[in-house]
Amino acid sequence: MRRRGYDIDSPRGGGKSKLADDAGVHRAAVSRLLQRQSMPDLETMRRLAGVLGVPLRDMLIRSGRLSEDDLPVASRQQSDTADDSPELSPEEAARRMGVPPELREVFVRVVKQFLPQRG
């Protein structure tokens, strides 16, 4: 936060309010986070990560919510060959992500709305 220019140390520095405003979250959420009183919800963490330029994965690990084992990173060899592998279908993505069978149809419809149109 400090590296991004947010003065979170002085009570009148305005850094907490500015960070909250920039992230579109409630100022109390930033204060509670800094005082380690509570953990923000996922959407708040996503917004803070975006403003701070920190990957959400790192935010979740640094906060103690998840471990590196919970969020493994694909090996370099896997990511280098990703362009050569067939595209993952929304159905397969739902299966791999553990989307419950009764919600997969809805998941697939929503995902398809964000995919580029083919043909």
φ, ψ for residue 15, nearest 5 deg: -65, -40
Domain boundaries along the sequence of the chain: 1-71, 79-114
Do the beta carbons of residue 31 and residue 16 sit within 8 Å?
yes
Class of domain 1-71: mainly alpha
| Overall pTM surpassing 0.75 (yes/no) | no
pLDDT for 68-118, tens place per residue?
888 887 654 444 444 555 677 888 888 888 888 898 899 888 888 877 766
Question: Residue 39 class from Cβ within 10 Å (0-12 exposed, 13-18 middle, 19+ buried)?
Answer: middle
- Identify the CA nearest to 31 among candidates 48, 55, 53: 48
Neighbours of 118 (CB within 10 A): 4
